[in-house]
Each structure stands twice: as structure tokens, then as C-alpha cells.
Structure 1
Amino acid sequence: MNVRTETEKLYFERINKVVHHINNNLNETLDIDALAAIGNYSVFHFHRIMRAYLGESLGAYVVRLRLETAVNLLRYSELPVADVAFKVGYENPTSFNKAFKKRFAISPNEFRKNYNGLIISEESKIKFNAMENLKSLKPKYKNRKTQKAIYAQVLGSYNESAGKAWESVCEFAKKKHLFGFKNEFVGISHDDPNITEASKLRYDACILVSKDVKPEGEIGVQEIAGGKYAVFIHKGPYEDFSKSYECIYGRWIPENNIVLRDTPGFEKYLNTPGKVKPEKLLTEIWVPVQ
């Protein structure tokens, strides 16, 4: 046994547990001692370990995720601002308003009224005619069951970092004999590139599996939420996903008064870059709706 490899595997496994807990419990009190215990770390070293992995302090990471989650709730839900504050872990609306304004230089109420022109940069504003990659703005509605997936998460520009995540998760699936006819290959782009800086974007490369499997090293296990989804077809390079997302989130959602469910959407890959040309790639974009 390679001791260094096993130690490195355990290192990532413990960090993964902490990050997964934070991502899924932003509405809870995230006590440093409790988080350190989840990863089985000494509190004395925990901050430095997490900072080295995240590229920012743990406190800054939590605050950033809470505020960026709040942005999406303000955009795409009808929750009152006070409820948004509680949902992302603030004890009262006043502290939430203060933190939000410090980050975005605008109050949550003002943002909700005018978010396009106030936070999204001019070059990133939605071009309503940029539909060359979407087959239609009339989605199919599908219901699916909650399913288990193995995944690898990476931080960084989606276009540059996703490949590394897929290499890791596919290598693990092959090693554990998890590939079969019913596998689905799914990507979760957690963050909006218009809000989150490129180096901190979170991407999960997921393979849906039916067998029991445990987290190991940098490979985690999560559930892809069931329920109702609006499903769009994107045709073309993955680099053009942003155009399709801009049409869906900037045009289809507001024009149709769509209310989103509080769970991540995802991309389901129907073919692969190694087998077809970029312009022939087909991807389903699954948007969770009420």
C-alpha cells in the first residue's frame, strides 16, 4: 500500500465531508468546532487546512455562498426578503441587508427590482436573440425520482476545470465497476459566473449509480433531487452554455412567471466530445420548477 496515496485520499475525503455539509446547510449555524469535528480535524489547524483548499478563509467562503445563494433566491423566487435572510443563515433581516449591501453595494430590495442593470456587467447582459444553441424556449416538463450519484467537485472556470473532475470520477467508476447501461452523466454548475469570480466557481461531475458506494478520497456521494423539471436541449459546444442559460434564466423564467424549486439544476450530457464534433454535442439542461 502506498502510504502517501492513502493519506492524500483521506485528506480529500475529510475536506469533502466539510464542504458538502456547508453547501447543504447554509441556513444553519455553522459552528467552527462542529465543522472541524465533521472532518475530524483539530480546531487549531482547521482554518489553515480549509483556506489552503478553498483559496479563501472558511468564514469568507460561508459568507460568499450565503450571499450568492440569496442572489438567486431574490431573482427566481417570491420569498420575502426577510425569509431569504433566514433561509441563507442570517438571524435577522438587518444583518442580512448590511452584509448584502457591503458585498453588492445595493440593498436586497433594490436588487430584486433592478438586478440586471445593477450587478450583471454590460458585456454579460442577456441578448434575447442569442438562441442559436437552444432548440426551443418551450421546454418539455419531466418528473424524475431522486437518484444517487458519485461526484468529483472542482473549483475554477467551468470551461477549464470540468475536464479534471470528469477524469477523476470516471477513473473511480471504472475502478469500482460502476459503469452500466443506465448510467447518466450529469454536471452541476453551482455558481453564476456573472456573480462568482472564475477561480471560485464550483462544478460537480456526477455519474448516477444504482449500486451502494461510499465516499473515497476526492470522490463524494450525493443525491440528484427528484421532482418536476423543465428540460431544454442545448446543441453545440459546452463553452456556449452561458448563452443558453442567459436565455432560460433571463427570458423564459421572467416571461412565464416561473418559480424555481430550492435545489440545483443540472446538465445531462447525451453524447461526448471524443465521439462527435463540438457543434454536434447535445446536452439537456434540467431546471427545477414548481
Structure 2
Amino acid sequence: MNIENIPCTKVAYIRQVGPYGDNNRQSMDKLKTWAISMDLLKEDSVLLGIAYDNPAFVEGNKCRYDTCLIIAEDSVINDTCIQEGRIQGGKYAVFQIAHTAEAVGKAWNTIFSAISSEGCQLDDDRPMMERYNFKLLKEHFCELCVPILSEKT
């Protein structure tokens, strides 16, 4: 676990509403196709997957998931299928994991105890993110970013 200050950042995104899973992957493919057509997908690009709702408390058909591409501040989006927004910045506990469905699922089941054991407090007002940095993806890794309020000093 690393602690990182993630800045407030401009993103292009597609929102998926419904059960998490295959639909999220389809949204990611759609965003990548759009980004390639706009010449925005580069070696240093960063994609994010942001789940806003916990399916244990929110009906599956109402769960929100944004597939995002970090873009330059001066970028203008002229596509009705792609929205423009910002991710909230702040302090995050960042976990690098293998980029497989099994590893991601296992990590989501274990990272909260790791955060707690490090003396960190979750920030429930900001969403958790999956971060896909192309350099890490080439090595078959991704990152889970969990918002925190504080850490041990």
C-alpha cells in the first residue's frame, strides 16, 4: 500500500448504470475506441474505472460506474456519447495488483483490513477507483485507489 495525493483531474467518461461486470468492460472498450479515433490514447494515458455504489446496498440496476480517460485541461469534448467531468482529488491508499478479474476481486476483499491496519480512515464521500496506467498494463498490473482521510504519522 502506498499513500498518494491524487490531483483533481479533468476526464472524458462514459457512465454505465446497471449491474457491475461485462457492461463495464463494454464501456471501457467504447471509450478506448473513441479515444483512439480522437488520437487521445497514448503511451502515457491513464484510464479509470469509478464505481459509485455498493451493490450490497444499492439495487444492481441502479449501480453507477464511470469509465474515464484523463484528458488535458484544455481538451474540448464534442461527442454526445462522451461526457466531460472531473475526478475529486485528495489522499488515496493505492494498491498495485495483477490485472486479472480474480486478483481485482480478491483485492477488494482484503484491502480494507490493510488500510485499517495502517491506521488510515476511509473517506466515504469520495469514490474508489481502479486506475489503468498503460505502462503498468504492459506488465499486467493495475491499481486500486481508495480515498482516505488520514494516515499514521
Same fold (TM over 0.5): yes
CA RMSD across the alignment:
2.5
Instruction: Return the offset for 1:270.
Output: 4.0
Structure 1 unaligned spans of 5+: 1-138
Task: Give SS of 2:55's match.
Answer: coil
1:225 counterpart (71, 88, 94): 88
Specify whether residues 215 and 285 from structure 1 end up closer, same or farther in structure 2 by C-alpha distance, changes over 3 A only: farther
> How many residue pairs were aligned?
146
Computing the radius of gyration from Cα coordinates, the structure with the larger value is 1
The reply on whether 1:289 has 2:151 as its aligned counterpart is no
The structure showing larger relative contact order (alpha-carbon pairs under 8 Å, at least 6 residues apart) is 2
The reply on whether 1:150 has 2:22 as its aligned counterpart is no
Instruction: Return the offset for 1:231.
Output: 0.6
Residue number in structure 2 paired with 1:260: 122
Instruction: Determine if contact 1:271/1:282 at 8 Å carries over to the other structure.
Output: no
Instruction: Give, in whole Å, the separation in 2 of the partners of 1:194 and 1:242.
Output: 15
Residue number in structure 2 paired with 1:234: 97
Specify whether residues 238 and 226 from structure 1 end up closer, same or farther in structure 2 by C-alpha distance, changes over 3 A only: same
Identity rate, percent:
27
Instruction: Determine if contact 2:44/2:133 at 8 Å carries over to the other structure.
Output: no
Instruction: Give, in whole Å, the separation in 2 of the partners of 1:195 and 1:253.
Output: 22
The reply on whether 1:173 has 2:47 as its aligned counterpart is no
Structure 2 unaligned spans of 5+: none
Specify whether residues 231 and 192 from structure 1 end up closer, same or farther in structure 2 by C-alpha distance, changes over 3 A only: same
Instruction: Return the offset for 1:187.
Output: 0.7
Instruction: Give, in whole Å, the separation in 2 of the partners of 1:267 and 1:143.
Output: 15
Alignment of 1:38-53 (within 5 A): none
**Structure 2 length as normaliser, TM-score?**
0.79
Instruction: Give, in whole Å, the separation in 2 of the partners of 1:157 and 1:215.
Output: 28
**Structure 1 length as normaliser, TM-score?**
0.45
Task: Give SS of 2:53's match.
Answer: coil
Specify whether residues 209 and 236 from structure 1 end up closer, same or farther in structure 2 by C-alpha distance, changes over 3 A only: closer
Instruction: Give, in whole Å, the separation in 1 of the partners of 2:56 and 2:85.
Output: 26
